[in-house]
A and B are shown apart, each in its own frame.
Chain A
Amino acid sequence: EADIYQTPRYLVIGTGKKITLECSQTMGHDKMYWYQQDPGMELHLIHYSYGVNSTEKGDLSSESTVSRIRTEHFPLTLESARPSHTSQYLCASSGGSRSYNEQFFGPGTRLTVL
């Protein structure tokens, strides 16, 4: 069982609100990722980090931003939520000595913007 946590699990908010999705891991992994999963199931990388103070945009353009101030914490922020941001957001981490490439996923946050 992977030790990666996401909160909240479900969030329903109105348009224009600022929100932060939390992701934390206790495995000491240096690499962390945010994916957006659409209703058609596809997983799209929107942000990743290879270590503290390192963040990069992923393959899918996103209006969200991320920060990596601590190894274990990789929050994602939407400054002004819109209905088009409605989706499932999955956080993952990798970098353990046992399986360096394997990405461990959190349970996800299902976001609905009204």
Chain B
Amino acid sequence: GENVEQHPSTLSVQEGDSAVIKCTYSDSASNYFPWYKQELGKGPQLIIDIRSNVGEKKDQRIAVTLNKTAKHFSLHITETQPEDSAVYFCAASIQTYKYIFGTGTRLKVLA
């Protein structure tokens, strides 16, 4: 069946450094790739997304890249801050309105 692999499962970085989270998907029909941030005690919140007709998208300190041929997509956070500490999920659409989520990455930004 379809699946999304996400790495690493935990990531610790020093404040100000960059963080990269990588995902691989299996369904070649996937065309929408959102990234969610989940803080303690809250539901996931969308932070950036990318569609399959675009290779890269940036929003301030956050960027996402997509390699459709390799079925890889990555989240890049630059100049990390303590408030970036959270669990991050990638997802890939498997039908128009359904996602499969990755297994999550717990990011810790050390002050």
Contact = CB atoms under 8 A, between A and B. Distances in A.
Interface stretch (A11-19, A72-80, A99-107): A99-107
A24 to B, nearest CB: 14
A107 B39 CA distance: 10
A70 B106 CA distance: 37
Max chain A CB contacts within 10 Å: which of B36, B42, B89, B99?
B99
The B interface, classified by DSSP as helix, strand, loop or mixed, is strand
Kindly name the residue among B87, B96, B98, B99 whose own CB sees the greatest number of chain A CB atoms within 10 A. Answer: B98
Nearest to A108: B43
A42 B43 contact: no
Interface in A5-38: 31
A43 B43 contact: no
B73 to A, nearest CB: 15
A99 B51 CA distance: 12
A90 interface: yes
A90 B44 contact: yes
A42 B106 CA distance: 12
B103 A105 contact: no
A22 to B, nearest CB: 14
B32 A105 contact: no
Interface in B73-111: 87, 89, 93, 96-101, 103-104, 106
Given A31-B97, A41-B104, A48-B98, A102 B34 contact: yes
Contacts of A42: 101, 103-104
Interface of A: 2, 31, 40-43, 45, 48, 50, 59, 90, 92, 94-95, 99, 101-108
Interface of B: 1, 32, 34, 36, 41-46, 49, 87, 89, 93, 96-101, 103-104, 106
Given A101-B49, A103-B99, 8 more contacts: A31-B97, A42-B101, A59-B1, A90-B44, A99-B49, A101-B34, A103-B46, A107-B42
Q: Return the 3 tightest CB-CB contacts between A and B, nearest first.
A: A105-B43, A41-B104, A43-B101
